[in-house]
Structure 1
Amino acid sequence: MRPEQEKLVRLKLREKQARLPEFTLDFIYVSETSKSLSTCFEYAKDLTLFYDYLVAERIIKVEQTQDITTKHLNGLSERNIVDFLNYLTHYTKTYKTATGKEIDQVFTNQSEGKNRKLATLRVFFDYLFTRSLIARDVTKRVEMKMKKRVRIKNRLTDDEVQRFFRTIKEDMNVQSDHAGNYHLKTKYRDYVIAVLFAYCGLRVSEVSTLDIQDVFTEEHALVVLRKGGNEQIIPIPDAIYDVIMEYLDQRKAMTHALREHEDALFLSMQGKRIHPRSIRNMLEKYRQRAELSMKITPHVFRRTFGTNHYNTFKDMYLTALILGHSSAETTRKYYADPNEERVRSSMAGFSYDSK
């Protein structure tokens, strides 16, 4: 894991740890000796969700999750665990944005997501039981059925990504002088938007809401407003840092922004913050010019980034964190697909011969 990525994971882990009781912090601490940092973060996230459920449903009658004790957990039954897994099917959480606005976000889990959270509970309860902190492990007999995995949808190849970029940069297949003049005014903006999709896996709403001050030049990072209203710091890959900085200089020199849109990183020709619909239309325009058959949307770039990031670092939890997923199961289900070369090389090198 790169230093900037490790810093990001540790920051998110500390946020979760602030809401956990002391004996659970001990579990996370011990886990760090044998598990990856990303796995420990998932443990903390799953247990925070579990505790939130127990407190909200008054199964454990305390004011806050930090007040939960091992005595409380010792009083749980198998039914409590099953009820929690059923709750995960569809639940709502309320978040507050930096401006104080409350946003309700709905979460869902299929059997794969429930099984992963059950796995966390099993590891945790086994830890408590083996240290005689609880008298019995109520998770041992709880089982979940697995459904067939969903096939991952379309993603772009490396060549298709580069062709898309070249189409913008090299003014390919511009059909008229009018279109050419418009393209010259917007092409660098459009190129940077495409680069953010491909190299950071951002959602279209996350791109359109970026402000100038969200670009941290010294830290090589972006501050992104995620779906749940939380802000997340995303490191800017070295490969695109200079591109972003050049655009930032251009944007600061622009004078046509309307007053209420003057902080927006990406502007329309009318001086307004660019609309997600305009971004989608822009991608379709360049898809046609690039003569690519696949329908290209912001989420196609997001899937492309997610799969390539996973295949590069082979860490599902890290990829989930970078994508801003509430659950690593979403990443496993729709993004974490080993490419053909990894599958081929793993089999070619497989042997029982002594190393």
Structure 2
Amino acid sequence: MGKWISFIKSYQSYLRIERGLSLNTIGNYTLDIEKLCSFLDDNGIDVSPVKIGPEHIQQFIYDISKTINPRSQARLISGLKSFFNYLIFEDYRKDSPMELIEPPRTGRKLPDTLSLSEIDQLISAIALKDKKGADSIEGYRNESMLETLYGCGLRVSELVDLKISDLFFDEGFIRVTGKGNKQRFLPIGSHTRKLIDSYKDHIRTAFPIQKGHEDTLFLNRRGRKLTRAMVFTIIRNLAEKISLNKSISPHTFRHSFATHLLENGADLRSIQLMLGHESITTTEIYVHLDRKHLTQVINAFHPRK
């Protein structure tokens, strides 16, 4: 891997500075390249990223396809194409060894959603009292946090990065920093606003706020920013508590936010802006465009129904 390290580091700088990608996304791109490097090392193939040919890439893809599903395989191929396109852009290579590599067909996978009743059950399952009957600061935090996740349709990274200075409640908006450090302003409902205000003014002060996290909205018990993994754990524990027979994650709340808006008459363009999608095609795949809802739209709005 020695011949690859300097190229990987310069590629990481490009992703961070030129494309403004998050550390999490850069880590995923890097992992794709490291998997290729591990394959080359395991098979005694001593070749640099400037000299590697399509035969080595094809051998790697064939080998790894035995251990990962088609969707993961497609994402891996996309990541490697990005890396070699960068090398061409910087004049390290004249062509890409990925040119003849086609990703597997994965089909369109619609995400799971939660009904409003299921969301209410999950949030109602949050324990607002501890075993001694005192107010649970983590319980009240989780309640306002999940209401924000669903009420604003946030990505989990956007939720944990939310700051007090991002709250513009007098104007009825919050400021969200999404992918590529792009900011957008989202309307926030009165119910979610009240919960955040109550948490911020009466609960958050009970956390031992650490230096550097004075502006972080949702804190862990040590007074630091919550991790994405912790939000996953909180949601999965709640799902288990109410015996919800679905595999859910923070993103499920985002899917549900978009789907419920669509089902209640919101236009796709507005949903796209709130989700922070660059392309409306992403939004079309993202929400559940089920037959029942489309039939209702035709019956309600078409002049020759």
TM-score band (shorter)?
Answer: 0.5 to 0.7
Q: CA deviation at 1:241?
A: 2.0
Q: CA deviation at 1:262?
A: 1.8
Structure 2 residue matching 1:300: 3-state secondary structure: helix
Contact 2:140 2:199 in 1 (8 A): yes
- Residues 161-202 of structure 1: CA distance to partner in whole angstroms, max 9, x if unpaired? 11111111667xx9xx48x87x82311100111111111110
Change over 3 Å in CA distance of 1:307–1:349 after alignment to 2? closer
Q: Does residue 87 of structure 2 align to residue 163 of structure 1? A: no
Aligned residues between the structures: 214
Change over 3 Å in CA distance of 1:290–1:232 after alignment to 2? same
Q: CA deviation at 1:217?
A: 2.2
Matches within 5 A, 1:1-355: 94-95=18-19, 150-168=108-126, 177=131, 184-250=136-202, 253-254=205-206, 256-338=208-290, 340=292, 343-344=295-296, 346-347=298-299, 352=304
Contact 1:251 1:265 in 2 (8 A): no
Structure 2 residue matching 1:260: 3-state secondary structure: coil
How large is the RMSD of aligned CA atoms in angstroms?
Answer: 3.5
Instruction: Give the Cα–Cα distance (whole angstroms) in 2 for the partners of residues 345 and 225 of structure 1.
Output: 33
TM-score by length of 1: 0.52
Structure 2 residue matching 1:306: 3-state secondary structure: helix
Contact 1:320 1:331 in 2 (8 A): yes
Amino acid at match of 2:161: T
Instruction: Calculate percent identity across the aligned residue pairs.
Output: 24
Instruction: Give the Cα–Cα distance (whole angstroms) in 2 for the partners of residues 187 and 223 of structure 1.
Output: 24
Change over 3 Å in CA distance of 1:229–1:338 after alignment to 2? same
Amino acid at match of 2:114: L
Contact 1:222 1:236 in 2 (8 A): yes
Instruction: Give the Cα–Cα distance (whole angstroms) in 1 for the partners of residues 109 and 16 of structure 2.
Output: 27
Change over 3 Å in CA distance of 1:351–1:96 after alignment to 2? closer
Q: Which residue of 2 aligns with 1:51?
A: none
- Any gaps of 5 or more consecutive residues in structure 1? 1-90, 111-146
Instruction: Give the Cα–Cα distance (whole angstroms) in 1 for the partners of residues 142 and 230 of structure 2.
Output: 11
Instruction: Give the Cα–Cα distance (whole angstroms) in 1 for the partners of residues 16 and 201 of structure 2.
Output: 41
Instruction: Give the Cα–Cα distance (whole angstroms) in 1 for the partners of residues 175 and 251 of structure 2.
Output: 19
Instruction: Give the Cα–Cα distance (whole angstroms) in 2 for the partners of residues 281 and 148 of structure 1.
Output: 28
Q: CA deviation at 1:327?
A: 0.8
Instruction: Give the Cα–Cα distance (whole angstroms) in 2 for the partners of residues 324 and 236 of structure 1.
Output: 15
Change over 3 Å in CA distance of 1:163–1:92 after alignment to 2? same
TM-score by length of 2: 0.60
Instruction: Give the Cα–Cα distance (whole angstroms) in 2 for the partners of residues 282 and 148 of structure 1.
Output: 30
